[in-house]
Structure 1
Amino acid sequence: MLTSHNLIEDIRNIIAQSRDRAIRAVDHERTLMYWHIGKRIFEEEQNGEDRAEYGTQLIKSISKSLQSEYGSGFSYRQLNLYRQFYRTFPIVHALHAQLSWTQYKFLLRVDTEEQREFYIAETIKNNWTSRQLERQVYSNLYERLLISNNKEDVLAVARNEKQPSDAKEIIKDPMYLEFLGLKREASYYEKDLEQAIITHLQEFLLELGNGFSFVARQKRIHIDGDEFFIDLVFYNRLLQCFVIIEIKTDKLTHQDIGQLQMYVNYYDRIEKTPTENPTIGILLCAHKNDTVVKFTLPENQKQIFASKYELYLPTEKQLMDEVNKEIESFEDDKKL
């Protein structure tokens, strides 16, 4: 009697899941061990009269005693890291088994408690790998979301304490597409960028954010005998709506916005079910003109967004310039 294919696949899945749980359990125990070592070093350090000097000598002495027996994981540098780990995360019960030691080690570089809390919540919610977490931190995800939202809303959505009710709570501007591997000095056609996005769809979904799934590419629609092709169609399960993305590699015009508005209207009237929310449209453009967008669309509309794309990750100065520009724009709007 032949063994069924489904049975073999089921057993393989059981083995893979068990191995994954075992690896996570071991890694969590290692994380707890490093935390307790850091705590013990810090407590001993506080008994010294000259704390800075005593702490340095103490860690050097511990490293000398342990490194020959247990290896490089107990070097002076690593022991200092364990001490920093305890100081940054002083409550052991707050450590999450879903996070690996590699992820915690990377989070020690994050500046503020609010940022760390945000990235921990997003890592758990989205099951990010260490590399994905690192990429999101380096792409300044937290700061980009803060540009159009307040801190409380950003953290509440990350913790799953509230569902996003407005597209701006999850749509990023700018979007960073460095994973496409395209050279920043070159010019591209829309079809080139579109093809690169499809080739790197998993990374693009990660950049889009929570709740997105791919629906169609070059979606053909018929309007009164004319054919039109929508670049990319997604669905967002959190917002419960279709999301249409049109790509523009040259200067954004009011005609581009009008075309996207037509596609959004079509989906609202033909594709959307009564239980779904209004369709969102995103113009993913190389050069964004906020004034053109502002005066082409009705005031207080919440369906059409323009998001600039960048082919490389930002420097800290570039990000702060972008934040300051948004603040100045907001202040100007209040004066009108």
Structure 2
Amino acid sequence: MPDIVPLPPGYADWLTSLKSRIHQAQQRAALAVNRELVLLYWQIGQDILTRQAQQGWGAKVIDRLAQDLRAAFPDMKGFSPRNLKYMRAFAQAWPDADFVQGVLAQLPWYHHLALLDKLPSPEARRWYAAKAIEHNWSRNVLVMQIETQLQERSGTAVTNFEAQLPKLDSDLARESLKDPYRFDFLGLSAEAQEREIEHALVKHLTEFLLELGAGFAFVGRQVLLNVGGDEFFIDLLFYHLKLRCYVVIELKGGKFKPEHLGQLSFYLTAVDTQIKTEHDKPTIGLLLCKSKNKVVAEYALRDSAQPMGVAEYQLIESLPTELQTSLPSIEQIEQALAGDETTEEDPA
């Protein structure tokens, strides 16, 4: 058995540093490969569009092109007729070469297929593409966010942030809240009670954090506050890393009532006094209720001196039927492409 050579001082730290640098280099290489692939697909799509428009080439040319490209590059994936048609659709959807090169090339190819198949408007595609890049969404998370209509729900909670927070904080705080919040992943009936919902949200914390959005970090459930010898418990307490403040979330099982904000305001004062540090910004409150009258919520928030918002939550699936049935799933897209590839794997 060979003698064990003692490690020189600093070797462990050096090895850790080397591993980190190698991992980063691998990530940069993978991103570079993806970037070149997306740009190549866009250029091929542009060529197909140009020749079909200027020279009247029919759809049969794509079948022949797929055959010839696969014969010329047998080890390269992604040259099925269906994928070539996606390249054409990709180029048609994004005619700006600079935008494709500077922004869209950051997303993997299958992200682009989801954007093309599930979103009809360029504005929606651009919004979801930007969010996917900003938050590093996987393909499945991107599809989930599209299907749960994140864009329509973002920044729509009733708040008083504009009056109670500085401009930059107000804009970020407003965009950080939604209305309604979707809790259909909990598997609860519409009649579930507050404590039952609260328990299920903590049990499914990963999904809950994903629904809350980027920046939320979980602090605790039923957080104890001792005020003058009396004990009070916050339903859910979070910290928002971008806003640099605590966020108190209170759940109400019924319709919103103005007096609910009094309790929430009390909790905000207690958190600001007992938990918040000098480095934290004022605590924000979010009241989640089963339903609300928007005008009543606006009136109730108007005279509050603390930043608060009111939003609804949904416990059951509420995706419109036409959206559920008319859009292919990402698995269906992959299966269709795989069926065209015969001897090849997925183009991405």
Q: Normalising by structure 1, what TM-score?
A: 0.77
Partner of 1:135: 144
Partner of 1:334: none
Q: Is the 8 A contact 1:257 1:293 kept in 2?
A: no
Measure the CA separation in 2 of the matches of 1:123 and 1:5. Answer: 36
Change over 3 Å in CA distance of 1:163–1:293 after alignment to 2: closer
RMSD of Structure 2 on Structure 1 (CA)? 3.1
Measure the CA separation in 2 of the matches of 1:39 and 1:285. Answer: 50
Structure 2 unaligned runs (5+)? Answer: 1-5, 159-166, 324-348
Higher relative CO (CA 8 A, sep ≥ 6), structure 1 or 2?
2
Q: 1:126 aligns with which of 94, 118, 135?
A: 135
Measure the CA separation in 2 of the matches of 1:191 and 1:17. Answer: 44
The 5-angstrom pairing of residues 81-92 of structure 1 reads 81-92=86-97
Measure the CA separation in 1 of the matches of 2:120 and 2:225. Answer: 48
Structure 1 unaligned runs (5+)? Answer: 150-161, 320-336
Measure the CA separation in 1 of the matches of 2:322 and 2:233. Answer: 35
Partner of 1:156: none
Partner of 2:331: none
Q: Which moved more, 1:280-289 or 1:270-279?
A: 270-279
Partner of 2:110: 102
The 5-angstrom pairing of residues 244-323 of structure 1 reads 244-273=248-277, 276-290=280-294, 293-294=297-298, 296-299=300-303, 303-316=307-320
Q: 1:235 aligns with which of 234, 239, 243?
A: 239
**CA offsets, 1:87-130, max 9 Å, x none?**
11223332234211111222223222222222222222222222
Q: Normalising by structure 2, what TM-score?
A: 0.74
**CA offsets, 1:214-240, max 9 Å, x none?**
223221111111101112112224333
Partner of 1:61: 64
Q: 2:121 aligns with which of 103, 107, 112?
A: 112
Q: Which moved more, 1:36-45 or 1:211-220?
A: 211-220
Q: Is the 8 A contact 1:231 1:245 kept in 2?
A: yes
1:133 is aligned with what amino acid?
L
How many residues are paired up?
A: 301
**CA offsets, 1:186-217, max 9 Å, x none?**
64343433333233333323322243222232
Please report how far the alpha carbon of residue 67 of structure 1 lies from its aligned counterpart in structure 2 after TM superposition.
Answer: 4.2
Partner of 1:175: 181
Partner of 1:31: 38
Measure the CA separation in 1 of the matches of 2:79 and 2:127. Answer: 30
Change over 3 Å in CA distance of 1:105–1:220 after alignment to 2: same
| Corresponding residue SS for 1:278 | strand
Question: Which segments of structure 1 move beyond 6 Å, counting only runs of 4 or more?
Answer: none
